[in-house]
């Protein structure tokens, strides 16, 4: 076996810029690395000096795909800092907004970004010609998820109707009833798409590596909007103590900021949530988990895409249930947030499509932000991707170079990384 | 021959590219009109041969400048996509601080040599708009862009027409929608001086306009001076009140 050198600059079909480098010689991996050259934007630095009512609008811009999640986490941090209470209606609408984002983001990832690998094509575009029926079903679900998010947030990308304390615009009962009907009708298409993925799931590599999984967890529900921090290794922890969980650190030989908790690395995202909270999934979601033989604790990172599909089904069913609850109570469209800014520090945590997200703000008495910290899901996964590379790459060396490259790319894509989100990545230096 | 289109991104949230994906079925029509030869967020394929380059993101470091200049040299037409490319994005607010101060605040646990200017990934990050580095032919403003407007601009370019980007204030669209003026309920809205074309989406949902599409070309001539006069404000005053997207203009006047 001779020398193998793989260098993927700016990995495609992921959000943001990442590189993969592999050097192997005589059947031995000399060096395998996941690098992130994304330009830093310094959000935590430049929100200093900005007023409390701008923070959610600014930090939403951390990520275009999970801007609803950033908005909600930001609002929760500001509310915690200033002791702002929210109504039950606000909390239910926010839970719907998360389902909107989860459905939008998950179907985008599974249908547009992962599916091309299963069919061995470069993008979804050739699939329009070869599998038009399947593509149109995915498009239909993606459109519905986006329209659902539009209804709740005013706009899917960078919400405009959410503010600290509540909503500045609230959908009508008629619109919510209509949306519920559309989701109920979409269950059949959802099942069709799940069948198609199941029929092609053999294309997902079977690779396992034991690791720690971290997500929000709750006794009452499949935790997304609220809960405690849960770990498959160490149980439950309060959200306010997140710094003891994330432990951001700098690797001496590489300089990239990583996270770790009980082991060398941990994973967040749909698979982590499934591993911790699967008992709270909706009936149809449990059915699909069974069909894919997905059981907790599953240690195959490629199954993250399957967990996303299972969560999509859960979000559809739970959205219908939440809309029923809202309609039974009746919607108060005139409810508006009332906020009196005050000094304080607050932490917000939400489990967004790619995993648990933390925002932590300190405000002065005028409501001006003086300090901020945002810990992003992809940041927490970075170290786990690297550790997976180190375990996975040696098993690939007898394959042709293109296949090795594809497998490593697929591994990163399975994490659905959101690299722009990373407010503070450094260059990973190559060890020659 | 269909024109070849390549889509690139620099420092941004990639939300504007997502709006292209969010065209849903219409993207299939777009693919009939043009050959998309590179779109990293959605496609594995890449190409150095393209007619139209659509670029999202702000330009931060010398390596970004270099990459943008190469794209400019290959493209016949270069389009700035969204507020980061047009104005420098919200991240331009970071230019209020020195690069060293930004680095210290965010990377306080790093070894100083790793984040010094000796590391090209960390060299002198200052966020700027595309047209501060290269010539830009057209701009599609907004944070994020309006995807309907994106499709219209593309069709205009393909049919040899001038892309239809409005140059009237957001108030025009807001009044058409009969929204309650936010000034009447104690708000400070950029609507009178901000460029429209967004269908006044923020005020429609109860939020103040933040001028993500920049100012109209001549705020003092075309702005809704009557609205401002009624509340005893001038265009300048409100332009200094909200700077989330518009620090490009204040920076030019000598910074905040």
Cβ <8 Å between B109 and A49: no
Long-range Cβ contacts of A118-121 (<8 Å, 24+ apart): A118/A197, A118/A200, A118/A201, A118/A203, A118/A204, A119/A200, A119/A203, A120/A203
B17 vs A contacts (CB less than 8 Å): 64
Q: d(Cα A92, Cα A76) in Å, to the nearest integer?
A: 14
Q: d(Cα A199, Cα A408) in Å, to the nearest integer?
A: 23
B 157-216 residues with CB < 8 A to A = 201-202, 204-207, 210
pLDDT > 70? residue A425: no
Q: d(Cα B124, Cα B113) in Å, to the nearest integer?
A: 14
Q: Residue A144 gets which letter from DSSP?
A: H
pLDDT > 80? residue B137: yes
Q: Is A15 helix (H, G, I), strand (E, B) or coil?
A: strand
pLDDT digits (tens, 9 = 90+) for A60-69: 999 999 999 9
- How far CA B212 is from CA of A61, A390, B87, in Å, comes to 12, 44, 9
In chain B, where are the structural domains located?
4-158, 170-252
Q: Which residue has the higher pLDDT, A156 or B222?
A: A156
Select the residue from A7, A14, A41 to test the B interface by mutation, using most B Cβ atoms within 10 A: A41
Cβ count within 10 A of residue A100: 26
Nearest CA in chain A to B101: A45
Which of B111, B136, B127, B6 has its CA nearest to residue B57? B127
Q: Which residue has the higher pLDDT, A251 or A103?
A: A103
Domain B4-158 has CATH 3.40.50.700: yes
| β-bridge partners, B79 | B54, B138
Beta strands in A327-408 (DSSP E): 344-352, 355-363, 369-375
Cβ <8 Å between A123 and B42: yes
DSSP H helices in A39-87: 43-46, 55-59, 67-82
H/E element, A33: strand A28-35
Respond yes or no on whether ipTM tops 0.90: yes
Select the residue from A12, A42, A128 to test the B interface by mutation, using most B Cβ atoms within 10 A: A42
A124 vs B contacts (CB less than 8 Å): 42
Cβ <8 Å between A37 and B121: yes
Cβ count within 10 A of residue A226: 17
B243 vs A: CB within 8 A: no
Q: Is A162 helix (H, G, I), strand (E, B) or coil?
A: strand
- Nearest by CB to residue A54, choosing from B22, B115, B244, is B244
Q: d(Cα A313, Cα A200) in Å, to the nearest integer?
A: 18
Nearest CA in chain B to A336: B206
- Nearest by CB to residue A420, choosing from B14, B97, B106, is B14
| Pairing relationship of beta strands A344-352 and B4-9 according to DSSP bridges | unpaired
Cβ <8 Å between A157 and B19: yes
Cβ <8 Å between A157 and B44: no
pLDDT digits (tens, 9 = 90+) for A198-237: 999 998 999 999 999 999 999 999 999 999 999 999 999 9
Cβ <8 Å between B207 and A154: yes
Q: Which residue has the higher pLDDT, B27 or A193?
A: A193
| Pairing relationship of beta strands A3-8 and A19-25 according to DSSP bridges | antiparallel
pLDDT digits (tens, 9 = 90+) for B69-123: 999 999 999 999 999 999 999 999 999 999 999 988 888 878 787 788 888 878 8
Nearest CA in chain A to B200: A160
- Nearest by CB to residue B14, choosing from A15, A45, A46, is A15
Number of Cβ pairs closer than 8 Å across A and B? 194
Query: Distance, in angstroms, between B39 CA and closest chain A CA?
Result: 8
pLDDT digits (tens, 9 = 90+) for B224-254: 788 888 888 888 888 888 899 999 988 754 4
Select the residue from B180, B205, B247 to test the A interface by mutation, using most A Cβ atoms within 10 A: B205
Q: d(Cα A207, Cα A196) in Å, to the nearest integer?
A: 22
Which of A143, A160, A167 has its CA nearest to residue A60? A160
The string of DSSP letters for B14-38 reads: SHHHHHHHTTTHHHHHHHHHSEEEE
A156 vs B contacts (CB less than 8 Å): 22
- How far CA A210 is from CA of A206, A207, A265, A285, A306, in Å, comes to 13, 10, 10, 24, 18
Cβ <8 Å between A169 and B25: no
In chain A, where are the structural domains located?
43-414
Domain A43-414 has CATH 1.10.490.10: no
Please list the helix, strand and coil fractions of chain B in percent, rounded to the nearest 5, in that order. Answer: 45, 15, 45
Cβ <8 Å between A112 and B21: yes
């Amino acid at each position: 076996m001779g020398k193998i050198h793989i260098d993927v600059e700016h990995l495609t079909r992921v959000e943001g810029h990442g590189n993969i480098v592999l050097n192997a010689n005589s059947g031995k991996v000399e060096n395998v690395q996941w690098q992130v050259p994304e330009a830093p934007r310094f959000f935590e630095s430049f929100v200093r000096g900005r007023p409390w009512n701008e923070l959610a609008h600014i930090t939403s811009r951390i990520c275009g795909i999970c801007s609803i999640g950033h908005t909600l986490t930001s609002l929760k941090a500001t509310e915690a800092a200033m002791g702002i209470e929210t109504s039950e209606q606000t909390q239910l609408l926010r839970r719907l907004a998360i389902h909107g984002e989860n459905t939008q983001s998950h179907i985008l990832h599974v249908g547009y970004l992962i599916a091309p690998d299963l069919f061995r094509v470069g993008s979804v575009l050739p699939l329009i010609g070869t599998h038009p029926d399947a593509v149109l079903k995915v498009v239909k679900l993606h459109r519905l998820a986006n329209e659902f998010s539009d209804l709740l947030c005013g706009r899917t990308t960078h919400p405009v109707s959410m503010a600290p304390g509540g909503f500045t615009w609230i959908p009508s009962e008629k619109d919510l009833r209509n949306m519920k009907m559309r989701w109920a009708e979409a269950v059949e298409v959802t099942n069709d798409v799940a069948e198609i993925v199941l029929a092609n799931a053999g294309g997902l590599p079977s690779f396992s590596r034991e690791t720690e999984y971290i997500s929000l967890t709750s006794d009452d529900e499949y935790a997304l909007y609220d809960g405690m921090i849960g770990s498959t290794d160490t149980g439950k922890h309060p959200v306010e103590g997140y710094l003891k969980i994330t432990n951001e650190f700098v690797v001496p030989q590489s300089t990239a900021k990583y996270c770790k908790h009980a082991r060398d690395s941990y994973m967040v995202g749909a698979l982590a949530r499934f591993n911790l909270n699967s008992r709270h999934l909706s009936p149809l979601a449990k059915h699909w988990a069974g069909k894919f033989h997905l059981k907790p604790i599953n240690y195959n990172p490629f199954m993250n895409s399957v967990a996303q599909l299972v969560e999509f089904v859960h979000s559809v069913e739970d959205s219908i249930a939440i809309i029923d609850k809202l309609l039974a109570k009746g919607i108060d469209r005139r409810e508006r947030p009332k906020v009196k800014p005050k000094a304080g520090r607050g932490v917000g945590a939400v489990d967004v499509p790619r995993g648990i997200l933390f925002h932590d703000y300190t405000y002065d008495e005028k409501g001006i932000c003086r300090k901020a910290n945002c810990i992003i899901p992809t940041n927490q996964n970075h170290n786990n991707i690297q550790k997976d590379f180190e375990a996975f790459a040696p098993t690939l060396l007898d394959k042709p170079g293109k296949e090795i490259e594809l497998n490593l790319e697929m591994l990163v894509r399975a994490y659905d990384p959101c690299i722009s989100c990373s407010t503070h990545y450094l260059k990973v230096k190559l060890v020659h | 021959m269909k024109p070849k289109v390549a889509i690139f991104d620099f420092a941004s949230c990639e939300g504007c590219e997502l709006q292209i994906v969010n065209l849903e079925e219409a993207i299939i029509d777009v693919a009939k009109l043009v050959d998309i030869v590179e779109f990293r967020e959605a496609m594995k394929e890449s190409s150095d041969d393209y007619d139209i380059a659509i670029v999202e993101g702000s330009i931060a470091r010398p390596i970004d400048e270099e990459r943008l200049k190469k794209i400019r040299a290959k493209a016949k037409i270069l389009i700035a996509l969204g507020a980061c490319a047009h104005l420098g994005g919200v991240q331009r607010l970071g230019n209020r601080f020195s690069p060293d101060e930004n680095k210290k605040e965010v990377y306080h646990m790093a070894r100083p040599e790793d984040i010094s200017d000796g590391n090209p990934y960390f060299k002198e990050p200052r966020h700027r708009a595309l047209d501060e580095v290269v010539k830009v032919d057209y701009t599609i403003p907004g944070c994020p862009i309006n995807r309907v407007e994106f499709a219209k601009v593309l069709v205009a370019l393909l049919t040899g027409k001038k892309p239809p980007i409005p140059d009237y204030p957001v108030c025009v669209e807001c009044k058409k929608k009969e929204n309650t003026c936010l000034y009447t309920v104690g708000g400070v809205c950029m609507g009178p001086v901000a460029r429209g074309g967004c269908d006044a989406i923020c005020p429609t949902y109860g939020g103040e306009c933040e001028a993500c599409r920049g100012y109209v070309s001549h705020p003092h001539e075309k702005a809704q001076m009557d609205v401002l006069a009624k509340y005893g404000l001038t265009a300048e005053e409100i332009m200094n009140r909200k700077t989330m997207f518009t620090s490009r203009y204040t920076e030019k006047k000598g910074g905040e």
